[in-house]
Amino acid sequence: MANSLPHLRKQDPNGKSPPAARIIAIASILTTSLLSPGTAAEVGTASYYGRDHAGRRTASGTRFDPAAMTAAHRKLTFGSRVRVTNLRNGRTVVVLISDRGPYTRNRLIDLSYGAARRLDFVRDGTAQVRIDTPLR
């Protein structure tokens, strides 16, 4: 496999490693092709919402619990379970889609505070993630 991907080992003309964004993009392409049959993947930016929304009703009608493993997505069906992977550190969590959003441009998913903690991006506020969704 290393011989089929020689461009991954190359450095830029200045002798530095490729930019992190390029590495993430290449990794997501490679991992997407290695997914188990019957899954689809999306790659993008995740953010989280937390304690200030605690107890409020979500679009699905449930009350938001910041510690629960839940998420908001624009299109996925309520009640869907999806696997979210932080591309920087490889941590993974399974969340339940219970709300609509995110309403910020260029964001793919809003995770609960608890899910963001498990993925280890609370301090940064956002992370590049891959969402693996079972096909129906």
In CATH, what number is assigned to the domain containing residue 86?
A: 2.40.40.10
Task: Region of 15 please: left (phi>0), alpha (psi -120 to 50) or beta.
Answer: left
Q: Can you tell me the distance from the alpha carbon of 59 to that of 48, in angstroms, rounded to the nearest whole number?
A: 16
Evaluate whether residue 68 is within a structural domain: yes
Work out the average pLDDT over 22-30: 51
- % of residues, the chain, pLDDT over 90: 54
Mean pLDDT, all residues of the chain? 80
Evaluate whether residue 125 is within a structural domain: yes
Question: Model confidence at 30, in pLDDT bands (50, 70, 90)?
Answer: very low
Work out the average pLDDT over 5-28: 51
Q: Can you tell me the distance from the alpha carbon of 88 to that of 113, in angstroms, rounded to the nearest whole number?
A: 18
Evaluate whether residue 28 is within a structural domain: no
Work out the average pLDDT over 57-63: 90
Task: Please answer whether residues 60 and 100 qualify as being in contact, where contact means their C-beta atoms are separated by less than 8 angstroms.
Answer: no
Range of the domain at 126: 38-134
b/e per residue 42-74 (b: at least 16 CB within 10 A): bbeebbbbbeebeeeebebeeebbbebbbbbbe
How many domains in the chain?
1
User: Quick check: 67 pLDDT over 60?
Assistant: yes
Structure-block tokens of residue 58: 């979500």
pLDDT at 19: 56
**pTM for the whole structure:** 0.70
